Amino acid sequence: MTATLLTARWVLGNVDGRHRLYEQGEVVYDGDSILFVGHGYPGEVARRIDCGMSLIAPGFIDLDALSDLDTTVLGYDNQPPAKKGRIWPRSYIERGPYEMYSPDELAFQKRYAFTQLIRNGITTALPIASLFYRAWGETVGEFEAAADAAIDLGLRVYLGPAYRTGNFVVEEDGTVGTMFDEPRGLAELNAAIAFAKTQEGRAGGLIKAMLAPDRVETCTPELLKRSAAAAKDLDIPVRLHCHQSKIEYDTVLALHGKSPAEWLESLGFLSDRALLPHATYVSGSSRIDRPGRDLEIMRDNGASIVHCPLVSARHGSSIESFSRYKAMGLKIGLGTDTWPADMLLNCQVGMMFNRVIERSTGVVRSEDYFDAATLGGAEALRRPDLGRLSPGAKADIVVWDLAHDRIGQVIDPIQTLMLNASGRDARHVIINGRMVMWDGVLPGVDHLAMQMRAQEQFDRLIAKYPERTLGHPPVSEIFSTAYPVERRPA
Ligand SMILES: [Zn+2]
């Protein structure tokens, strides 16, 4: 007798693939799996825990999970990218791009990010990180360290180092073009395939593999064809950023005479293994003045889009729109992608954008986004055992605190999450049947020490920005302050 029974004011169970609320419900799990959800469990259990005025819910699935010290935030008030260290200048490429972090620092930032994901109620994560500060792609070494960190902390992950055959380059006169190094990217793909074979299924299935070609515009056809073939061969997900910016769309159109989706379909890249962030720049939208069937192509090939409302909104874009994508039958999962790794905040932003875009409050409801953050991610990963609390599903459980004195007035618990709560209200997190966070504490993790180390590491990275910024201006010229700053005299 080893089972654990949790009870709370609300339990979000699942019947036939649809979430259902049980008032004063019970959830029972044993080992890594759920045994029972509902009222009046008839069996014996080893322990009972009453979580009081809480919502017990399935953990979130983050398909584009922030996994580094987020440099994207530096672009919030500092544009354009070509002048702010986000496109490599010719001079930096000629001196030879280099790793701006040590292997130790790369390993640390993954571990740090994983603790943040867990604290926000994310129980399955597919890491994403910037390649701007890298020599080229991500390395197997840092992902071996990431796997160890995930096992240590207890986070369910799909891991694969990002790779690419190309990159953008900005010339001295400010023009932006592309450069390619196919042998380098193909070598990285081979390393990623070898990594996938060694990692898939580790730690009782907690560690899974994925392939992560970085962005559609920085990939050659050969890289994408081989990636799709390897994903099929290994039967693992393959994630590729596409339809996420105007420059990307225009670049692919110029290079290949097709939109990103059209090109990917022609290469045989699209399938139900394909995860596609962010689908914000598509034919027929207000941002792309070109007729086409981009969304239909993704849908008809069974691909899932990865919708990251917060990072898109911060850059002035959004999908158009969540409710329309859903109505046309497109599969939608969610990702955090930027700091804070708060899935609730992403749902909140996404819901509001949907209503603004459609000029209607009726187009989207709280459960639509909660579904996307749980069931949508599970469908994208082809994992009917994730994203739900029902017998046989994995015991990936988050207990949301609805009793504290800043939550406001609680109405329906899911609506309350979408209105009043933040990721910080995740109180307990259980993954694969293991209590990885209890009362906000991750055993053995010194959050304050990590915070200080992360800040120091980030400050050192910022100091290196002039080396890869067009014209190499000082940091004070690259990044603005909100108001004039009076420095204290030395
Ligand atoms: Zn992204």
How many other C-beta atoms can be found within 10 angstroms of the C-beta atom of residue 134? 19
* Distance from Cα 20 to the centre of ligand 1, integer Å: 31
* Distance from Cα 71 to the centre of ligand 1, integer Å: 12
C-alpha dihedral sign at 86, 240, 64, 251: positive
Q: DSSP letters of 398-451?
A: EEEE--STTS-S--SHHHHHHHH--GGGEEEEEETTEEEEBTTB-TT--HHHHH
pLDDT, residue 1, reads 76
Cα–Cα nearest to 130, from 465, 355, 361, 455? 465
How many other C-beta atoms can be found within 10 angstroms of the C-beta atom of residue 114? 27
60-386 has the same fold as 1-58+388-443? no
Weakly modelled stretches of the chain, pLDDT under 50: none
pLDDT, residue 490, reads 87
Q: Helix, strand, coil % (nearest 5) of the chain?
A: 40, 25, 40
Domains in the chain: boundaries = 1-58+388-443, 60-386
Looking at residue 216, the DSSP 8-state letter turns out to be G
| Residue matched to tokens 């380098």 | 184
* Distance from Cα 305 to the centre of ligand 1, integer Å: 11
* Distance from Cα 66 to the centre of ligand 1, integer Å: 9
CA dist., res. 268 & res. 214, Å (int)? 17
CA dist., res. 482 & res. 283, Å (int)? 36
* Distance from Cα 144 to the centre of ligand 1, integer Å: 22
C-alpha dihedral sign at 339, 340, 344, 350: negative
CA dist., res. 438 & res. 187, Å (int)? 42
* Distance from Cα 44 to the centre of ligand 1, integer Å: 45
pLDDT, residue 78, reads 95
pLDDT, residue 266, reads 98
Q: Which residues contact 435 (CB under 8 A, 6 or more apart)?
A: 428, 429
* Distance from Cα 129 to the centre of ligand 1, integer Å: 8
* Distance from Cα 480 to the centre of ligand 1, integer Å: 24
The SS3 of residue 189 is helix
* Distance from Cα 245 to the centre of ligand 1, integer Å: 11
Assign domain 1-58+388-443 to a CATH class: mainly beta
Spacing of C-alpha 230 from chain mean position: 22
* Distance from Cα 244 to the centre of ligand 1, integer Å: 8
CA dist., res. 126 & res. 61, Å (int)? 8
* Distance from Cα 337 to the centre of ligand 1, integer Å: 5
C-alpha dihedral sign at 250, 81, 274, 184: positive
pLDDT, residue 295, reads 98
Task: State the greatest distance between any 2 C-alpha atoms of the chain, in Å, as a whole number.
Answer: 74
C-alpha dihedral sign at 445, 446, 447, 451: negative
CA dist., res. 277 & res. 270, Å (int)? 13
* Distance from Cα 163 to the centre of ligand 1, integer Å: 14
Strands 434-437 and 212-213: unpaired
ω into 321 cis (within 30 of 0): yes
pLDDT, residue 368, reads 98
For residues 167 and 132, is the Cβ–Cβ distance under 8 A?
no
DSSP H stretches of helix in 154-266: 182-199, 202-205, 221-234, 246-256, 260-266
For residues 218 and 163, is the Cβ–Cβ distance under 8 A?
no
What is the CATH topology of the domain spanning 60-386? TIM Barrel (3.20.20)
For residues 449 and 56, is the Cβ–Cβ distance under 8 A?
no
pLDDT, residue 415, reads 98
CA dist., res. 426 & res. 373, Å (int)? 15
For residues 243 and 260, is the Cβ–Cβ distance under 8 A?
yes
* Distance from Cα 2 to the centre of ligand 1, integer Å: 41
